[in-house]
Structure 1
Amino acid sequence: MSEPTLEIHLAPEQLLGSLREDALIGLTSTPKWLPPKWFYDARGSELFEEITRLPEYFPTRTERELLRASAADIAEATSAQILVELGSGSSEKTRLLLGAMTEHGTLERYVPQDVSEAALVSAVGQLADEFPSLTVHGIVSDFTDTLHNLPRGGTRMIAFLGGTLGNLVPDERAEFLASIAEVLDEGEQLLLGVGLVTDPAVLVPAYDDAAGVTAQFNRNVLSVLNEQLGADFDVDRFRHVALWDETNEWIEMRLEAAEAMSVCLPGIGLDVRFGAGEQMRTEISAKFRVEGIGKELDAAGFGSDRVWTDPDERFALILADKK
């Protein structure tokens, strides 16, 4: 068994610089917004893991069962030697895929990528123990600008699971999918997990649970700004809002100021005014139709899609070949 390794392309000062830039741009925009990646400090990651276990939050368990049912088919269809996972987190669901691909006999290396060094340190150690035949090589980076660092030396499949593609607006999605296609060789593959358009009566509660865990998670982005930029957000004076945008077919999460207030952010030299009832967007989670995401993949340079969906057609796994 080879020892797991970790490659770091995102130093703490780079991460802080990125947060400063995003906060400055987002908080001076009209309307205000913040990128969802800043939810995930240690507390935010804990809250999200709690969200995935909530009765209302169906995406994680639906994708897990889809992987359980289709992992052997995926392993046979790809015969990849290297599995690269973008935004791997704890790699919990991916263990189903790793098990099937190692049993198939072709997989030699697993390369999990995540922005969190702590998450990867924990995951690569556990996975190396669980899958002793694999070389496990973690990469700490931002998935949107890490693709040029991906390993070669064997047939690769890139996995991007969890519906995270839906956090990108259409232009960002097009650019991101095209950039994945650019780094893959002909015949290499992308495994994509996406949420599907379904009944808003089911979708909205998944992002606005009765226990209020998602509300805590949403407000955690303000705690991150307080901690990292010395801001003085009164977190409890912001209300969690989740709604279904029928035109764009996405869930939108926002934070709404309960009253007029001024917030100071010394870390970026900014004072921000919020009006009473003013809303700030913190996340979109686009949902897809199988035909629509197929067209997006085709435009990006992929073809020969194989699709697996759950019986309720709320989630899809798509295996796409690089043209």
Structure 2
Amino acid sequence: MPETPEVDPAFRDDVLNGLAAPIPAVPARWFYDRRGSELFDDITRLDAYYPTETEMRIMGENASAIAEATGRGAALVEFGAGSATKTPLIIDAIEPAHYVPIDISGDYLRDSADKLKADHPGLAVDPVEADFTKPFDLPSEIDGFERIGFFPGSTIGNFVPRSATDMLRHFRDILGDGAKLLIGMDRVKEIDRLKRAYDDPEGVTAAFNKNLLTRINRELNGTIPEDAFDHEARWNEMLGRIEMHLVANRDVSFEIEGQPFSFAKGETIHTENSHKYGKRAARALLLAGGWTPTHEWTDDADDFAVILAEAQPNRFAP
């Protein structure tokens, strides 16, 4: 018999409580088991998904300016590193002494860290398996080094503004006084283009969204009929965000860890948000989160921004 996978109690709690809520939802961080991480990498290579290519072009074209603004020889700390697709561009530009990738998917994290070590043999790589939204410790090996946080891919947009502000304050506390943060933020743009990016014709984003159901069934003894739910991407004009949902295409009942659930046709499980920020809103969010923007790089169409910010002094430190 195959071994029963070890279940993260936070995953169990988020799924059971989230599906029982008045507006059923599961936090997007649980997309990223190994298969989910692989599917997200596939998404970043799709023609319709513009953020990855645009952000990489911005960083490549402005590598010298970014290095001048950040300095060299620091410790680079990447939150939610995944496959670290964009990281080599920054490593080659700023030449950090240490690289600390942080990710919740341990196996995937270690594989990408090993590849980065092989490609950059002179770089100290210290992976940390952790949920970067929660408290965790940075490795002692980077004590005494200046710290640069790296949060690319507009991942900050997955959090509602209040949570995004708390997340930025969390980063500021982890990185400490004198730290810098290099962050990617997606701009508001045409609705049809946004929806294509999150509901691609190839169906990869749909597979990514539905893989959450596969994970629930595998890890939480779920009986969800996966064909009973369809992927849907929606633009919420009032809240300035793309939303991803799993929509019941028929009346459906199932159990998770013995707890019963029922969804009527048309009811949804809300699985992800991707907030889009205008220039002023992006800067205001950083300021509210304890970071002062100092530099900003964008593409010619202003589709995406890479922003460098400095940690504001912690007035509440003892």
- TM (normalized to structure 1)? 0.90
Q: Which of 235, 259, 269 in structure 2 is aligned with 1:280?
A: 269
The within-5 A match list for 1:163-202 is 163-202=154-193
Task: Give 1:82-231 correspondences, 5 Å limit.
Answer: 82-102=75-95, 107-149=96-138, 151-231=142-222
- Contact kept, 8 Å, 2:244 with 2:272, in 1: the verdict is yes
User: Aligned residues, how many?
Assistant: 306
Q: Give the letter for the 2:289 counterpart.
A: A
> Partners of 1:242 and 1:254 in 2: how far apart?
6
Could you state the TM-score of these two structures normalised by the residue count of structure 2? 0.92
What's the CA shift for 1:147? 4.8
Q: Is the 8 A contact 1:254 1:280 kept in 2?
A: yes
Query: Which of residues 57, 64, 67 in structure 1 aligns to 2:59?
Result: 67
Aligned-pair distance for 1:300? Answer: 2.0
From 23, 34, 43, give the equivalent of 1:31.
Answer: 23
Equivalent position of 1:7 in the other structure: none
Equivalent pair of 2:27/2:272 in contact (CA under 8 Å) = yes
Return 5+ residue gaps in structure 1 as ranges. Answer: 1-11
Q: Which residue of 1 aligns with 2:303?
A: 314
CA distance in 1, matches of 2:304, 2:130: 27
Distance, in Å, in 1 between the alignment partners of 2:136 and 2:309 is 17
Q: Matched residue of 1:144: which SS?
A: coil
- Cα pair 2:245 2:269 within 8 Å, conserved: yes
Q: What's the CA shift string for 1:124-149, capped at 9, x where partnerless?
A: 22212222221111100001114543
Q: Which amino acid letter does the alignment assign opposite residue 58 of structure 1?
A: Y
* Deviation (angstroms), 1:14: 8.2
In structure 2, the gaps of 5 or more residues are 313-318
- With over 3 angstroms needed to count, the CA separation of the structure-2 counterparts of 1:179 and 1:15, relative to structure 1, is farther
Residue type matched to 1:48 in 2? F
Identity of aligned residues (%): 38
User: Which residue among 48, 54, 74 is the counterpart of 2:46?
Assistant: 54
Deviation readout 1:253-276 (Å, 9 max, x if unpaired): 00111111111112xx31001011
Amino acid at match of 1:251: I
Q: After the TM superposition, which segments of 4 or more aligned residues of structure 1 sit over 6 Å from their partners?
A: none
Cα gap change, 1:202/1:171 in structure 2, threshold over 3 Å: closer, same or farther? same
Counterpart code for 1:205? R
User: 1:86-145: CA deviations, max 9, x gaps?
Assistant: 10111121101101112xxxx211111111111222122221222222111110000111
Distance 1:297 1:46 in 2: 30
Aligned to 2:239: 248
Structure 2 vs 1, CA of residues 222 and 72 (structure 1 numbering), >3 Å: closer, same or farther? same
